Structure 1
Amino acid sequence: MRSFVKKILRIFLIVLISILYLFGIYLLFLSITDYKPQKIESPDQIGNIGNIENNQIIYDEFTILSWNIGHAGLSKEMDFYYYGGKNTKPSIEIYQKNLNGILNMLVTYSYVDFILLQDVDVFSDRSYYSNQEKLVSDFLPDFAFTFALNYDVKYDLLPLYAPMGRVKAGLQTLMKYKSVEIKKFAYSSCFNYPKKLLMPDQCFLVTKYLLKNKKQLILINTHNSIVDDHIINNHELEELKLYAVSEYIKGNYVIIGGGWNMNPPNFSKVKVFTKEYPLFHFRNEIVANYMPYNWKWVYDSETPSCRRTNKAYDISTTATTISDFYLISPNIEILNIRNFDLNFEFSNHNPVLMNVKLK
């Protein structure tokens, strides 16, 4: 009996040591291949630039669309492992339905001047290794574009029963004007090791355009970390604020749009949604005095912009909120803001359209 117990213990120790050894090898692999973005990079304006003849914005009014397309994998049928669900990718049939729907919707919105996209996959297992950056550009021949990588994990082993695998994704800004400067600013990473090895390296993507008054339009596409940690969010917000205010001081016009993964200031005090959508609040709400006086937070309070993905979407039970919105400098007037209610058919976010006028 004693020898049998020893044998079992020996087997258990061998298995345990083997698991720890394999985990160590995996951790080493992630550490060696970890994506470490430069603090500031200069992406190119690429794509269909030959079709663009406008060197400056000659009008005072223009339109912007922002949409987190959820890598065409987080449609109404889906839940997501990292947000409390079980799945990491849809079936190929659902993915293709989502991708086609997103591309067709973008064509519908192709009358706009600028498009800000988040969660655009370029080489990921979860999106069947399709290059969404190129597909979007091909469907929108009247736009040039730039791309900023913010998520590059060689192999995500989680969840063990259905690993997410290779992930490579980022932000894409499309424009009908030639940009005079493009910069990608990586947010400072505050995730602890080894968690940071599997997390996106979030950033904001800046494109600058010459205006007829010789000032510049500063258009910022941001995607912030989705965390419950105020410290991480505050670090990112402070970096974004310093840049935006510095450009406004120069006399430029600043617009920030994208996926904030936070609620806008005073959101908890605002009556939202004209329909009976179940509502949730992020733990992190941007503080009311975050920006200087007269900067404007712009969002559509009548329609949710995103949903929880802990389960498939059900209009009567799935919690929704607003985390996709804009921030504009005091020298810009808001004309209209609208969340297009797509019932989360193709993504866990709805597109947000804004019309503005320069003062």
Structure 2
Amino acid sequence: MRILKRSALTLLAVITTLALVVGGYVLYMQHQYYRIPDHQKLTIGNNQAATLTTGKVYTATTYNVGFGAYNHQFSFFMDAGELKSGTKTRGKYGTARSKAVVLTDTKGVERVMQAQQADFMLFQEIDTNSTRSKHVNQVRMVENKFHGYGHVFANNFHSAFLMWPLTDPHGSVQSGLLTLSRYHIGSATRRQYPVTNSFISKFTDLDRCFAVTTIPVTNGKQLLLINSHMSAYDKGGKMRKAQMKLLNAVIERAYLASNYVIVGGDYNHALGKDMLTHFASQEKVPDWVSVLDQSMVAKGFTMVKAQNRETVPTVRSTDLAYRSGVNYLTVCDGFLVSNNVTATATNINTDFDYADHNTVKLTFILK
């Protein structure tokens, strides 16, 4: 009887301790949780003096660098999918495999960008101080590499220490959008996208934003160059519809004020219904993939379709390590331009060596 009583008390103590630990952790996450305010002014570093002119050819790139973790071996714990055979799949890791991997991938990104020699560079999911990227300051690395560019950073993801997966906790995150410019930036502002406030999702989907940089043109107008990263974990695309509504309102207002507008980034949509199942793979279309087509874009704007979009995708699925012909592929990165901008685009094939995305290069002229 005493043994049973002692065992019951021990079990009760264990359950109580676990409840206190879990409850304390939930309170910690809730206490650390906050949303960055809208219309936040951003700091412009190393601002350049040159000014844009009409009739001249310029280039811009967009590249989601995936916090330096996504070499071919990496899969991400939050991503799940299904093979056409019916086999369920789920990513494995919460953090990059090592600091060396993050450094190697970030330097690889730098080499890709050096080869493009773009006038403007837009980066998404680039970290400053995160557990997942072994606390490598990727933003500082890239800024230092391209010292002839002005730079603007907008914090997009910020989270308390996420203790999942238990075998490789994702940890705390400080990450965002980096914009580099060879031309003078007049102002820079962070705009907050609407995001879910559901209790669980708000700790995993994090903030989403776009960074608006205004760049003077010699004719007295401005180029609004927007760096955008929309929600990913949004089954059915409900939040992305709200995000697109806000983005459309901002860019349409700027265009009606006679400015030039270019939006580059990761839309987390298949850019056109034809891209939804275009690339051969052994996976079904993931739940997170919705379609963004021209009809959903503000009046006076064009979705620039890359000339080689049928042969070079811009994103791979991350519920599996990368194997050519196996992973789901689509085009979800690119540019929108106002009708007073003439533009063409090319998807740059990196074979997903340094990230789960390929970069996209825009060549444009301001009319």
What is the root-mean-square deviation in Å for CA atoms of aligned residues? 2.1
Q: Which residue of 1 aligns with 2:362?
A: 354
1:333 to 329, 342, 351: 342
The equivalent of 1:23 in structure 2 is 22
Q: CA deviation at 1:97?
A: 2.0
User: Separation in 2 of the partners of 1:143 and 1:286?
Assistant: 32
Q: CA deviation at 1:343?
A: 0.9
State the one-letter code of the partner of 1:246: R
Deviation at 1:347, TM superposition (A): 0.4
2:106 alignment counterpart: 99
Aligned residue in 2 for 1:212: 218
Q: Classify the secondary structure of the residue corresponding to 1:80.
A: coil
Distance in 2 (CA, whole Å) between partners of 1:188 and 1:352 is 26
Which of 59, 65, 87 matches 1:63?
Answer: 59
Distance 1:246 1:169 in 2: 29
Alpha-carbon contact 2:40-2:191 (below 8 Å) kept: yes
1:16-55 pair list within 5 angstroms: 16-46=15-45, 48-49=46-47, 52-55=48-51
The whole-number CA distance in structure 2 between the counterparts of 1:278 and 1:299 is 25
* Aligned-residue offset at 1:278: 5.9
Match of 2:180 in 1: 174
- Determine the C-alpha separation between the residues in 2 that align with 1:310 and 1:206: 32
The amino acid of 1:324's aligned partner reads D
Q: Does 1:81 align with 2:107?
A: no
CA 1:13–1:235 in structure 2 vs 1: closer, same or farther (change >3 Å)? Answer: farther
Indicate whether 1:315 and 2:324 are aligned. yes
Q: Out of 323-332 and 170-179, give the one that drifted further.
A: 323-332
Tell me what 2:163 maps to: 157
* Further displaced range: 4-13 or 64-73: 4-13
Q: Which residue of 1 aligns with 2:134?
A: 128
Deviation readout 1:128-180 (Å, 9 max, x if unpaired): 21111111011001111000001111311111121111211000000011111
Q: Offset of 1:78 from its aligned partner?
A: 0.6
Q: Does 1:115 align with 2:125?
A: no
Q: Which amino acid aligns with 2:29?
A: L
**For residue 195 of structure 1, what is the aligned residue in structure 2?**
201
Segments of structure 1 that go 5 or more residues without pairing to the other structure are none
- Decide whether the 8 Å contact of 2:103 with 2:136 is kept in 1: no
Q: Deviations over 1:232-267 (max 9, x none)?
A: 111111111110111011011111110111112433
Give, in whole Å, the separation in 1 of the partners of 2:151 and 2:298.
31
CA distance in 2, matches of 1:57, 1:122: 34
Question: Retained in 2: the 8 A contact 1:57–1:177?
Answer: no
Give the 3-state SS of the residue equivalent to 1:127 in structure 2.
coil
Partner in structure 2 of residue 138 of structure 1: 144
**Contact 1:76/1:343 (<8 A) preserved:** no
Q: Partner amino acid for 2:127?
A: D
Structure 2 residues not aligned, in runs of 5+: 80-89
Aligned-pair distance for 1:3?
6.6
| Structure 2 residue 245 is matched with structure 1 residue 249 | no
Q: TM-score, normalised by structure 1?
A: 0.91
Separation (CA, whole Å) in 2 of partners of 1:130 and 1:220: 26
Deviation of 1:353 after TM superposition, in Å, equals 0.4
Letter of the structure 2 residue corresponding to residue 344 of structure 1: F
Return closer, same or farther for 1:283/1:131 CA change in 2, 3 Å cut-off.
closer
TM-score normalised per structure 2: 0.89
Rounded Cα–Cα distance in structure 1 between residues aligned with 2:202 and 2:241: 17
* C-alpha distance 62-278 of structure 1, shift in aligned 2 (>3 A): farther
> Between the two proteins, what is the percent identity of the paired residues?
24
* Contact kept in structure 1, 2:294 and 2:302, CA below 8 Å: no
Deviations 1:64-106 (A, max 9, x none): 1000011111121211111131112222332332122112222
